[in-house]
Amino acid sequence: MATTFDRLVIEPRRTESDRITPTSRPESEEAQSPSLLLLVLLASTGILVYAVFLLNPANRGDWLPYSMVMLAETVLIGHALLSMWTVMSSGHNPRNFAFHLAQDRLYDLTEIIRDKAEKRPQDWRMYLQEWPVDIDVYITTYGEDLDTIRKTVTAAVAMHGRHDTYVLDDGRSDEVRDLAAQLGARYIRRLSSNGAKAGNVNHALSLTRGDFFVVLDADFVPLPTFLHETVPFFASDDVAFVQTPQTYGNMNSVISRGAGYMQAVFYRFVQPGRNRFNAAFCVGTNVIFRRAAIDSVGGIYSDSKSEDVWTSLMLHEKGWRTVYIPTTLAVGDTPETVEAYTKQQLRWATGGFEIMLTHNPLSPKRKLTMDQRLQYTVTATHYLTGIAPLLLLLVPPLQIYFNLTPMNLTLTTGEWLLFYAGFYVMQIVLAFYTLGSFRWEVLLLASVSFPIYTRALVNAIFRKDQKWHVTGQKGAYRSPFAFMMPQVLFFVFLLLTTVVGVWKDLSNGYFSLALAWNATNTLILGGFVVTAWKEGHRGRLAAQAERRRDARRSSTTGRDEAAAPQTASTGGVA
């Protein structure tokens, strides 16, 4: 089997005409698929037709439900169109000739042979523009379990290319310190937790001197080629950071699959599209920065828990260029529980709303291109699409209880469904194509997350500080229902409304669209409640098993301690 060094020597050196690598072609081809472009165009057409239908004065119903529908659909339609536009721009390939030339000259073969390091690629010094570069790898930790940290640190130390690996421990754990020493990594601990993760990284920057630095969350295990695939981009002096996707390896529950699939389209199609507008932003992990770029904006932005997007915005306003590559170079964990998902989404949404309310990208004060302004506006307002379902959820009850209808339809139900399908069904078809099949978990989470995003908006408006939480952090069992009472109350309300709707429609002699709409919403919320109940049941069983194990260990320890004095006494007599 050929070693990494063998491949380095055997593979032909690239020339100026060889500007596309075999590994980069699938990325571009997937984004430029004719089938995908056709679906995007059809979906965009469906969105516009549905918008015209809603705006037709002849179709306007009672002002309250109509206003609610128009507000919600305006947010959804606007974001859908901008997303379609970004996806259609995702064929841009950031790997240019400068990248390939730099990657070819990344290592000095003579030096490797001289140092007899052919079988130690982690010791190969890396060069850019004929100059050696120093790279620091930061692994941020805050209470994760030791096994998780061990996997990440072990993989980080073994990455190809000479680098120093640091464990930045905000959990201040002696066990983590000892583990880092055991695995060959350095350890940094600070006295306070000010600035959360951003403060942790900034503290490490004050103690290290690398030209570039990688940031990895404790649960993202990097591949050996991480540096090999990212460092060459910095041959261009205007590149501030290179971001790679978050790919998940724990898609084993409804929550983790839903959260993972929700991110998949973003990382496969939306982020690549943002490359074309120089608006790809950092997502907090699996990223490598140029130190000079971060120094130019005063360090990682620390006044928000969404330090990644804010730092990206500061860099773009300074004129730096950013790069995103849809190549999996690290695999990590997505939230597996209602608690973890709620806390993650609350943190992300609060950061987005903070940009919307305090740093409007459309303001003339912002030194951004028009494309960047639009892309950051989409980012800042994205989580409004998660609040929109709340308004749509309340429309059917208004009709069932008060006979207030959003639309004054002269069309048949079939004709109305045709307009409706042009928007919503095409979105599902597009998601089906990009994800490979229909992912009902995504629909579930998208429909029931409105309490999280509503709370995030309130937090941003009133400047309420959001405590930092680690995705997947282990701890004592807490019922998922402690984090989803609004969803439970809405489920009960919609269930009662469905019963009332059935009784009312039976009296009228026909079933209304409002009843079908309300019953569908009830089923979706009910599915989330059942998912939470199953999660809680598994959690209770696991907690009971852990208590039994603790009791057995305590009992064994007690017997050993009781036996110890007797043994000593017997020995003394002898």
Query: Would the pLDDT of 466 be above 60?
Result: no
Residue 568 pLDDT: 38
The CA distance from 271 to 325, in Å, is: 8
Torsion of CA 309, 310, 316, 319, to 10 degrees: -150
Higher-pLDDT residue of 416 and 533 is 533
- Show the tokens assigned to 223: 């591949």
The CA distance from 49 to 59, in Å, is: 14
pTM summary value: 0.87
Write out pLDDT tens, residues 387-407.
999 999 999 999 999 999 998
- Which of 199, 271, 237 lies closest to 468, judged by CA? 199
The CA distance from 290 to 345, in Å, is: 28
Residue pair 91/404 in contact (Cβ under 8 Å)? The answer is: no
Residue 493 pLDDT: 97
- Show the tokens assigned to 78: 């606007």
Query: Would the pLDDT of 297 be above 80?
Result: yes
Residue 17 pLDDT: 40
Average pLDDT over residues 308-336: 96
The CA distance from 325 to 226, in Å, is: 11
Element at 199 (helix H, strand E): helix 196-205
Pairing of strands 131-133, 126-128: antiparallel
Query: Would the pLDDT of 19 be above 70?
Result: no
The CA distance from 326 to 263, in Å, is: 12
Cβ neighbors of 78 (< 8 A, separation 6 or more) are none
The residue type found at 408 is N
The pLDDT mean for the chain works out to: 87
Residue 391 pLDDT: 95
Taking only Cα atoms into account, the Rg of the chain, rounded to an integer number of angstroms, comes to 27
Residue 80 pLDDT: 86
- Which of 74, 82, 88 lies closest to 38, judged by CA? 88
The CA distance from 347 to 469, in Å, is: 8
Element at 555 (helix H, strand E): helix 513-573
Residue 435 pLDDT: 64
| Residue 572 pLDDT class (50, 70, 90 cuts) | very low
Q: Which residue has the tokens 């990223």?
A: 287
Give helix 513-573 / helix 485-508 axis angle, nearest 10°. Answer: 150
**Domain ranges in the chain?**
27-85+384-471+478-537, 97-336
CATH class of 97-336: alpha beta
Instruction: Give the end-to-end CA distance of the chain in Å, rounded to a whole number.
Output: 65
| Residue 517 pLDDT class (50, 70, 90 cuts) | very high
Residue 112 pLDDT: 94
Write out pLDDT tens, residues 93-127.
889 899 999 999 999 999 999 999 999 999 999 99
Q: Which residue has the tokens 């790997």?
A: 95
CB burial of residue 31 (10 Å; 0-12, 13-18, 19+): buried
- The residues that bridge with 138 in the sheet, in sequence order, are 166, 215
| Residue 370 pLDDT class (50, 70, 90 cuts) | very high
Query: Would the pLDDT of 189 be above 50?
Result: yes
- Strands lying side by side in the sheet with 221-222: 221-222, 330-332, 247-248
Query: Would the pLDDT of 291 be above 60?
Result: yes
To 5 degrees, how large is the angle CA 206–CA 211–CA 214?
80
Query: Would the pLDDT of 555 be above 80?
Result: no
Average pLDDT over residues 135-160: 97
Write out pLDDT tens, residues 219-275.
999 999 999 999 999 999 999 999 999 999 888 889 999 998 888 889 988 999 999
- Which of 405, 392, 403, 343 lies closest to 490, judged by CA? 392
Q: From residue 62, how far is each of 290, 367, 371, 504 by CA, in Å? A: 56, 44, 38, 20
